[in-house]
Amino acid sequence: MRYWDSSAIVPIIVRQAVSSKADAWFAEDPQVAMWTLTPIEVTSALWRLVREGILAEDDARRADHRAAELAAASHLVVDVESVKSLGQRMIRVHALRAADALQLAAGLFWSGGRPESKVLHTFDDRLALAARREGFDVP
Protein backbone atom coordinates (compact mmCIF):
# COMPACT_ATOMS: atom_id res chain seq x y z
CA MET A 1 0.00 0.00 0.00
CA ARG A 2 1.20 3.49 -0.88
CA TYR A 3 0.06 6.95 0.16
CA TRP A 4 -1.36 9.13 -2.65
CA ASP A 5 -1.65 12.91 -2.75
CA SER A 6 -4.46 14.40 -4.85
CA SER A 7 -1.93 15.62 -7.44
CA ALA A 8 -1.11 11.98 -8.18
CA ILE A 9 -4.73 10.79 -8.16
CA VAL A 10 -6.10 13.29 -10.69
CA PRO A 11 -3.88 11.96 -13.54
CA ILE A 12 -5.26 8.47 -12.93
CA ILE A 13 -8.83 9.57 -13.56
CA VAL A 14 -8.27 12.15 -16.34
CA ARG A 15 -5.58 12.11 -19.02
CA GLN A 16 -2.75 14.52 -18.28
CA ALA A 17 0.90 14.78 -19.27
CA VAL A 18 1.92 12.72 -16.20
CA SER A 19 -0.85 10.11 -16.49
CA SER A 20 1.43 7.37 -17.80
CA LYS A 21 3.69 7.74 -14.74
CA ALA A 22 0.72 7.71 -12.34
CA ASP A 23 -0.76 4.71 -14.15
CA ALA A 24 2.55 2.84 -13.78
CA TRP A 25 2.66 3.58 -10.04
CA PHE A 26 -0.91 2.35 -9.69
CA ALA A 27 -0.14 -0.81 -11.68
CA GLU A 28 2.78 -1.56 -9.34
CA ASP A 29 0.53 -1.37 -6.26
CA PRO A 30 -3.18 -0.61 -6.64
CA GLN A 31 -3.74 -0.41 -2.88
CA VAL A 32 -4.22 3.29 -2.14
CA ALA A 33 -4.03 5.16 1.14
CA MET A 34 -5.26 8.74 1.16
CA TRP A 35 -6.30 11.56 3.49
CA THR A 36 -10.03 11.75 4.13
CA LEU A 37 -10.21 15.20 2.49
CA THR A 38 -8.35 14.16 -0.67
CA PRO A 39 -11.61 13.53 -2.58
CA ILE A 40 -12.52 17.20 -2.04
CA GLU A 41 -9.14 18.27 -3.41
CA VAL A 42 -9.67 15.99 -6.42
CA THR A 43 -13.12 17.46 -7.08
CA SER A 44 -11.64 20.94 -6.81
CA ALA A 45 -8.93 20.07 -9.34
CA LEU A 46 -11.45 18.57 -11.77
CA TRP A 47 -13.76 21.57 -11.73
CA ARG A 48 -10.82 23.97 -12.02
CA LEU A 49 -9.97 22.11 -15.25
CA VAL A 50 -13.57 22.66 -16.38
CA ARG A 51 -13.40 26.38 -15.60
CA GLU A 52 -10.11 26.60 -17.51
CA GLY A 53 -11.71 24.95 -20.54
CA ILE A 54 -9.41 21.92 -20.37
CA LEU A 55 -12.06 19.38 -19.35
CA ALA A 56 -15.70 19.08 -20.41
CA GLU A 57 -18.32 19.06 -17.64
CA ASP A 58 -19.54 15.57 -18.56
CA ASP A 59 -15.97 14.29 -18.38
CA ALA A 60 -15.52 15.97 -15.00
CA ARG A 61 -18.68 14.29 -13.67
CA ARG A 62 -17.45 10.88 -14.85
CA ALA A 63 -13.99 11.53 -13.38
CA ASP A 64 -15.55 12.66 -10.09
CA HIS A 65 -17.49 9.37 -10.01
CA ARG A 66 -14.28 7.37 -10.65
CA ALA A 67 -12.56 9.33 -7.87
CA ALA A 68 -15.38 8.48 -5.47
CA GLU A 69 -15.07 4.80 -6.39
CA LEU A 70 -11.31 4.94 -5.80
CA ALA A 71 -11.80 6.62 -2.43
CA ALA A 72 -14.38 4.02 -1.40
CA ALA A 73 -11.89 1.25 -2.21
CA SER A 74 -8.97 3.01 -0.47
CA HIS A 75 -7.64 3.14 3.05
CA LEU A 76 -8.72 6.56 4.32
CA VAL A 77 -6.82 8.39 7.06
CA VAL A 78 -9.73 9.79 9.06
CA ASP A 79 -8.20 10.85 12.39
CA VAL A 80 -8.59 14.59 11.84
CA GLU A 81 -7.32 15.69 15.27
CA SER A 82 -4.07 13.75 14.99
CA VAL A 83 -3.49 14.91 11.42
CA LYS A 84 -4.25 18.51 12.41
CA SER A 85 -1.63 18.42 15.13
CA LEU A 86 0.98 16.88 12.80
CA GLY A 87 -0.03 19.35 10.08
CA GLN A 88 0.75 22.30 12.30
CA ARG A 89 4.23 20.89 12.88
CA MET A 90 4.66 20.33 9.12
CA ILE A 91 3.90 24.03 8.51
CA ARG A 92 6.50 25.09 11.07
CA VAL A 93 9.17 22.76 9.66
CA HIS A 94 8.55 22.82 5.89
CA ALA A 95 7.62 25.48 3.31
CA LEU A 96 4.14 24.03 2.73
CA ARG A 97 0.67 25.42 2.26
CA ALA A 98 -1.98 24.21 4.70
CA ALA A 99 -3.53 21.56 2.42
CA ASP A 100 -0.12 20.11 1.55
CA ALA A 101 0.91 20.11 5.21
CA LEU A 102 -2.24 18.13 6.01
CA GLN A 103 -1.49 15.71 3.16
CA LEU A 104 2.00 15.10 4.53
CA ALA A 105 0.68 14.84 8.08
CA ALA A 106 -1.90 12.26 6.99
CA GLY A 107 0.86 10.30 5.26
CA LEU A 108 2.95 10.41 8.43
CA PHE A 109 -0.02 9.28 10.50
CA TRP A 110 -0.70 6.45 8.03
CA SER A 111 2.95 5.35 8.29
CA GLY A 112 2.72 5.19 12.06
CA GLY A 113 5.36 7.90 12.27
CA ARG A 114 7.86 5.67 10.47
CA PRO A 115 7.86 6.76 6.82
CA GLU A 116 11.12 5.02 5.94
CA SER A 117 10.50 2.46 3.17
CA LYS A 118 6.98 3.86 2.66
CA VAL A 119 6.05 5.42 -0.67
CA LEU A 120 4.25 8.74 -1.04
CA HIS A 121 3.04 9.64 -4.54
CA THR A 122 2.77 13.29 -5.50
CA PHE A 123 3.50 15.55 -8.45
CA ASP A 124 3.79 18.60 -6.19
CA ASP A 125 7.48 19.55 -5.92
CA ARG A 126 7.25 21.23 -2.51
CA LEU A 127 5.31 18.37 -1.00
CA ALA A 128 7.73 15.87 -2.55
CA LEU A 129 10.73 17.65 -1.01
CA ALA A 130 9.11 17.80 2.43
CA ALA A 131 8.05 14.14 2.21
CA ARG A 132 11.60 13.08 1.30
CA ARG A 133 12.97 15.11 4.21
CA GLU A 134 10.52 13.34 6.52
CA GLY A 135 11.79 9.98 5.26
CA PHE A 136 9.30 8.91 2.58
CA ASP A 137 10.36 7.35 -0.70
CA VAL A 138 8.97 9.76 -3.31
CA PRO A 139 9.48 8.41 -6.84
CATH 3.40.50.1010 corresponds to the domain 1-139: yes
pLDDT at residue 134, as a whole number: 98
Three-class secondary structure assignment of 43-60: HHHHHHHHHCCCCCHHHH
CA 5 to CA 122: how far, in whole Å? Answer: 5
The residue ranges of every structural domain in the chain are 1-139
pLDDT at residue 138, as a whole number: 98
**Whole-prediction pTM value?**
0.95
pLDDT at residue 22, as a whole number: 98
pLDDT at residue 74, as a whole number: 97
Residues of the chain with pLDDT under 70: none
